[in-house]
Chains A and B, each alone.
Chain A
Amino acid sequence: MASTLISNPVTNSDRARDSAKKKKKKKSQAIRDETQNPNTNHDSTQWKSEVQQQVYSSKLLQALRGVRLSSSPSAPRRGRSVREAADRVLAVTAKGRTRWSRAILTNRLKLKFMKNKRQRVTVTGSTRSKKPRLSILRLKSKNLPAVQRKVRVLGRLVPGCRKEPLPVILEEATDYIAALEMQVRAMTALTELLSGSSFGAGSSASPASQLGSSGPPTS
């Protein structure tokens, strides 16, 4: 026990020194990033950077390999599982700093545990939505029914933002759109790569290599 007491201050000071070093490194890199991209925010992750896209692509590849092995070969389920894997990897790449990424990750866990209890969840949900909210205040632009309605719709589109107030939804939507754009870019590049590889595979590849982009091999 005495040894652990002695070692604690040592590790704390080490950690403090390491964190100070990391902060200095982060600061210099942040300054470099800012001088290159003056439009990026401090808080949001850099969704436009190439590094981020490569990180996402490599993680997506690993996840997709796992998806291929486990999913059944029926068409609608396969696309759905690829989409879910892509969203999950996107949430992981966000490093949990945003609500939508955390919501995506926790929703997976919830669905896994609550597959049989889904009916109970829907019953309680219907009784809660009876409160009228729009009739109370109609003073500033934030409380105009049109804007309010649209923000609610937006909150439903962005995962995890259904009950959040207006500024939170707007902020989450900003980050979510940037992340989705990166997701589209990465998946497009991956698709082109894979379809290009089946093009240039030649005779050494498996007999399933295709010449066109659609349709099964006729042989």
Chain B
Amino acid sequence: MSSRRSRSRQPGTSRITDDQINQLVSQLQQLLPEIRNRHSDKVSAAKVLQETCNYIRSLHKEVDDLSERLSELLATTDTSSAEAAIIRSLLMQ
């Protein structure tokens, strides 16, 4: 296969094997909640990547919503009562 030879001469590409890529993709697959629950081994790399992008976007959105709520709560609740509640919860752990 001439492909391997030509690829190794490229200055910019690094010598990564397909196995390494597959391993990384499967590692990513383990983190995604949807694919993990489907118990299927034959998920294509493109699907895993697509799910990863969607998952990261949804996590970002969740963090945005949570920060909105936190900012509202911080503005309206009293400082001392909030801190007291937090300290209480930390002590109880």
Contact = CB atoms under 8 A, between A and B. Distances in A.
Interface of B is mostly: helix
From B27, B31, B52, residue with most partner A Cβ within 10 Å: B52
B7 A197 contact: no
Interface of A is mostly: helix
Nearest to B54: A157
B93 to A, nearest CB: 8
Interface in B1-56: 3, 6-7, 13-14, 16, 18, 20-21, 24-25, 27-28, 31, 45-46, 49-50, 52-53, 55-56
Interface residues of B, number: 50
Contacts of B84: 197
B56 A146 contact: no
Nearest to B50: A150
Contacts of B57: 157
B75 A151 contact: no
Interface residues of A, number: 62
Interface of B: 3, 6-7, 13-14, 16, 18, 20-21, 24-25, 27-28, 31, 45-46, 49-50, 52-53, 55-57, 59-60, 62-64, 66-79, 81-82, 84-86, 89-90, 93
